[in-house]
Each structure stands twice: as C-alpha cells, then as structure tokens.
C-alpha cells in the first residue's frame, strides 16, 4: 500500500485516521465510485433505448398519412383518430424527456455531479419516469384498441399500409415504455439510496 501523507484530512478534523485506515477507506471509495459509474452507464443505456424507441414511435405516427389530399373522403390521417394523436404526442413527449435525461446522464458520468442539486435530481427523475411511463402505457393501450377495431372495419382492407404503420408505431411505443420502466426502477433505487445515505451513491 502506498502512503499519502500529503492527502488532506477529509473527516473535518474530528478524528485523525491512521494512514492505513485512510488508504483502506480510499480503496473502498474507489470501488464504490467504479460501481456507481457502472450503474450510471446502465441508466444511460436504458435512457438511450427509451429515447430511440419513443422517437421512432413518434416519427412513424407523425408520418402516418395515406390517400390523396386532406379533403378526400378516403384519405387517412393519424390526426383524425383521437387514440393515434395520443400515441404520437405521448411518444414525442417521452422522446424529449429521454433526450434531456440522456444529456443529464452523460453530464453526470463525465463531471461526477448532477445537473440539478442532488435531492432535486433524484426525485425529479423518479417522479417523471413514473408519470411518463403511465402516460405512454395508457396511450399505447388506447392505440392498440383502436388499431384492432380498425382491422375489423373496411379501413384496413382499403388501405393496409396505414394500419401496418400504426401497429408498428404502437409496438415501438411499448418497447419505449419497457425501457422507461427499467429506468424508473433504477431511479427508484437511487431515491432509496439517497434517503438511506444522503447521497445517490449506492451502498
């Protein structure tokens, strides 16, 4: 073990540890920093996956227009259906939020500090994950129900591409929901760690 007598006393002068104790706690804190880094990279991956899937879902739905002009009776537009509007807007909101969270995650990994103060950040992440996960699930369930009823009607025989594209968009939305749910679990774990230790570092 290396000795580092020039290292400043981190305990605020209350108790002077022996060099051996100090080295050991340094070693433990290095392990904890590495674990914390791996945890953050896992969050980043989930966030990025949620961003990709929800963005793809939003693009597929926003581009979902078939038939001639808006005035034709047989033209199909995503914004003529309430549930599809909900799917498109929910996916777009989740994509924006996930993009922000990817940025926040990269910031945290590179600089070692959260964007907002730590207490705000952990609660912000967890609450928004929960609310947006509920919203996305609700939108995609409604989209599924609408897509199934459209299949029973003449709509899908007349213009199958519209139905297929809607179904793909809804499926991508469900994948986005899944990754948002995983992120929500991890950010919930961070909240518990923060309450336990007064720090987002786990254990």
Residues of the shown chain interacting with a second copy in the complex, contacts defined by CB under 8 A:
82-83, 133-134, 137-139, 141-146, 148-150, 153, 191-192, 195-196
Of the two residues 116 and 134, which places its CB atom closer to a second copy in the complex?
Answer: 134
Shortest Å distance, C-beta 190 to a second copy: 12
Shortest Å distance, C-beta 141 to a second copy: 4
Of the two residues 63 and 192, which places its CB atom closer to a second copy in the complex?
Answer: 192
Shortest Å distance, C-beta 110 to a second copy: 30
Of the two residues 105 and 143, which places its CB atom closer to a second copy in the complex?
Answer: 143
Shortest Å distance, C-beta 21 to a second copy: 27
The residues, ordered by sequence, that sit 6+ positions from 74 with a Cβ below 8 Å of its Cβ are 67, 68, 158, 159
Shortest Å distance, C-beta 153 to a second copy: 8
Sign of the CA dihedral with 169 first, then 79, 146, and 90 last = positive
How many other C-beta atoms are found inside a 10 Å radius of the C-beta of residue 35?
A: 13
Of the two residues 161 and 192, which places its CB atom closer to a second copy in the complex?
Answer: 192
- CA max distance for the chain: 84
Of the two residues 70 and 82, which places its CB atom closer to a second copy in the complex?
Answer: 82
Shortest Å distance, C-beta 146 to a second copy: 5
Of the two residues 105 and 184, which places its CB atom closer to a second copy in the complex?
Answer: 184
């Amino acid at each position: 073990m290396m000795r580092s007598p020039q290292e400043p006393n981190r305990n605020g002068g209350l108790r002077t540890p022996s060099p051996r104790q100090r080295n050991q706690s340094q070693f433990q804190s290095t392990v904890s920093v590495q674990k914390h880094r791996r945890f953050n990279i896992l969050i980043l991956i989930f966030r990025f996956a949620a961003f990709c899937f929800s963005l793809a879902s939003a693009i597929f739905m926003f581009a979902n227009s078939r038939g001639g002009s808006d005035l034709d009776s047989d033209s199909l537009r995503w914004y003529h259906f309430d549930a599809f509007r909900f799917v498109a807007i929910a996916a777009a909101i989740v994509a924006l939020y996930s993009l922000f969270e990817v940025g926040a995650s990269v910031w945290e990994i590179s600089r070692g500090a959260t964007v907002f103060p730590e207490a705000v950040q952990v609660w912000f992440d967890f609450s928004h994950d929960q609310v947006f996960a509920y919203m996305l699930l609700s939108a995609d369930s409604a989209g599924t129900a609408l897509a199934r009823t459209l299949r029973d009607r003449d709509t899908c025989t007349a213009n199958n591409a519209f139905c297929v594209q809607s179904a793909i968009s809804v499926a991508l939305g469900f994948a986005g929901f899944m990754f948002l749910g995983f992120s929500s679990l991890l950010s919930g774990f961070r909240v518990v760690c923060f309450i336990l230790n007064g720090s987002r570092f786990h254990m």
